[in-house]
Amino acid sequence: MYETLAKFAQTWGLLLFVLAFVLVLIYALNPRNKKKFDEAKRIPLEDEEDGNGGKRD
């Protein structure tokens, strides 16, 4: 029983993780997401305001 369950989990687990990796790769490299990623990469460079309307140091 254990060997059967372990073999099933190893085989289908590997396939599940490979499929998830491919889907994430497709999402990350999709040209439609370029604008979203370009905006996100600029977030650390933007000036932020504190809660009182002033600039943070």
Segment 37-55, tens digit of pLDDT: 999 999 999 987 766 655 6
pLDDT band at 6 (very low <50, low <70, confident <90, very high): very high
pLDDT score, position 53: 58
Share of the chain above pLDDT 90, in %: 79
The mean pLDDT value of the chain amounts to 89
Buried b (16+ CB within 10 A) or exposed e, 32-42: eeeeeeeeeee
pTM of the model: 0.62
